Amino acid sequence: MAVNLQTGIPWMMCKQDDAPDPIINTCNGLICGETFHGPNSPNKPALWTENWTSRYPLYGHDPRFRSPADIAFAVALFIARKKGSFVSYYMYHGGTNFGRFASSYVTTSYYDGAPLDEYGLIWQSTWSHLRELHAAVKQSEEPLLSGAYSNYSFGEQQEGHVFKTESNCVAFLVNFDKHKTSNIQFGEASFQLAPKSISILSSCRRVVFETAKINAQHGLRTAQVVQYLNNVDSWKVFKEPIPLAINNSTHIGNRLFEHLSTTKDETDYLWYLTRYDYRSNGDTQLVLNVESQAHVLHAYINNDYIGSVHGSHDGPRNIVLKTPIMLRKGQNSISLLSVMVGSPDSGAYMERRIFGVRKVSIQQGHQKSHSLNNELWKHQVNPGQH
C-alpha cells in the first residue's frame, strides 16, 4: 500500500528485513550495532528507528533503567560497524499515558528514565553524556558521510573502525571485554580502552569522547508528599451487584463474543453471563474451566466468588482458570468478568487478534467436559467500572 501511494518520499519500515524497494528496512532494539543485518539494498542507508533509552515499566516488575555508558556504546558501535547515519531515541522524552491509554500491562508512567524524564526534566547523567557523544559525531561528519571505510582487529574482543577522506579522519576503537582494560597500538600512539567502551578519535589521533567515561554529575530527583490519602475518612467503597443472565441486553447470542469489538474499546470490563441447568449426580467433584485471551478474569457462581486468574506481559497470551465449584440442583448463574489491562502495543496483524473469554466448560468427575461455548450468553459492558 505504501509503495502504491507513490508519495515521492522515503518510507522507513522497522523490524522488516525484507521491506520492498524503495522502503528502507531499519532496526529497533538495544544493540543494533550488533543485531542489525544492515540495509537490504546498497541504495539504502543504515537507520536505527528505535534506540531504547530505558524500558517501559510493567506491572509487578522492577524499573529497568539503562546506563548512559551503555546507550553511548551502542550508538557509537552502530555508527562505526554499520555505517549508521541515523539514530532515533525511543524515548528521548518520557511522558504519562493517562487512564487506559497505556498498553497491555504497562504502567501510566512511561520512559521516566529517558534523557528528558516523564516531567520534561533533564535526567542526568544520560542527557549530558549523549550531548557529548552527539558533538563528537557532528565534529567528524565529513569523513563519516563521505570517507573511505576500513576496519582493524586488535585482539579477540578489540577492533577499530576508520573513516578517512583526503583532509580528515575519524576512528572508533572498540573494547568488547566487560571486565578488563585493553591497551592497543593504533597508528603511532598507544590507547587505553576501558572495559566495554568505545573511544572516538578526531583526526584519528585525539580522543574526543569515551563511552565509558561519564563527565556529568549524576542527577538527583526528590519528591515531597503534598497529601496523605490513608485517612479512613478519605475513602468510600462502592459495591456493585453481580449481574445475572437476564435477557435485557442487545449483546446476546449462542456464542462467546469478542471482548474489544463488544466494548468498542470504551472500557476494560465485559461481563459474560449464562445459566447452567445442573442435574445432580451424587457427590462427584465439579470443576469449572475457563480459557481467556484477556488479561484478568474473575468468576462467580450464583453471586459467590469462586476465583480469579491474572496474566502477565511476558506470559502466554491465554490465561486459564480451573477451579472446583459447587452447584445447586436446577438453574445456576455463571458470571465471568473479563478485564483488559490496556490494549496491545505491537506485533504483526494486530487487526486479527481477538480477546476475551474463548472457552468455558464444566467437568464432572472423570467424565468428558461439558462445553458451554454455544449456550445462550449475555454480554454486559461496564463502562463505569473501576
Give the start-to-end residue ranges of the domains of the chain.
12-210, 252-381
| Chain segment 151-168, per-residue pLDDT in tens | 999 999 999 999 999 999
Residue 343, strand partner residues = 103
Amino acid symbol at 264:
K
Q: What is the mean pLDDT of residues 182-192?
A: 96
Q: What is the pTM of this model?
A: 0.86
Q: Which DSSP category does 261 fall into?
A: H
Backbone dihedral region for residue 302 (phi beyond 0: left; psi -120 to 50: alpha; all else: beta): left
Closest CA to 217 of 94, 332, 127, 117: 127
Residue 383 has a pLDDT of: 67
- For the cut 70, the answer to whether the pLDDT of residue 247 exceeds it is no
pLDDT grade, residue 386 (50/70/90)? very low
Q: What is the mean pLDDT of residues 122-144?
A: 97
Rounded Cα distance, 302 and 272, in Å: 14
Closest CA to 105 of 341, 345, 344, 378: 341
Residue 293 has a pLDDT of: 96
- For the cut 70, the answer to whether the pLDDT of residue 215 exceeds it is yes
Residue with the three cell numbers 452447584 = 327
Residue 88 has a pLDDT of: 97
- For the cut 60, the answer to whether the pLDDT of residue 145 exceeds it is yes
Rounded Cα distance, 376 and 374, in Å: 7
Question: Collapsing DSSP states into helix, strand and coil, what is residue 353?
Answer: coil
Helix intervals (H) in 222-368: 259-263
Closest CA to 365 of 283, 290, 291: 283
- For the cut 80, the answer to whether the pLDDT of residue 227 exceeds it is yes
Rounded Cα distance, 32 and 52, in Å: 10
- For the cut 70, the answer to whether the pLDDT of residue 246 exceeds it is no
| Chain segment 278-337, per-residue pLDDT in tens | 987 667 789 999 999 999 999 999 999 999 999 998 888 899 999 999 999 999 999 999
| Chain segment 335-353, per-residue pLDDT in tens | 999 999 888 887 778 888 9
Stretch among 13-27, 40-54, 156-170, 367-381 having the lowest mean pLDDT: 13-27
CB 27 within 8 A of CB 35: yes
Rounded Cα distance, 153 and 335, in Å: 66
Residue 70, strand partner residues = none
Hey, what CATH topology would domain 252-381 get? Jelly Rolls (2.60.120)
- For the cut 80, the answer to whether the pLDDT of residue 249 exceeds it is no
Rounded Cα distance, 17 and 32, in Å: 13
Residue 174, strand partner residues = 159, 198
Q: What is the mean pLDDT of residues 50-74?
A: 92
Closest CA to 306 of 298, 294, 314: 298
| 223 vs 83, more confident | 83
Residue 208 has a pLDDT of: 98
Stretch among 114-118, 188-192, 209-213, 250-254 having the lowest mean pLDDT: 250-254
- For the cut 70, the answer to whether the pLDDT of residue 361 exceeds it is yes
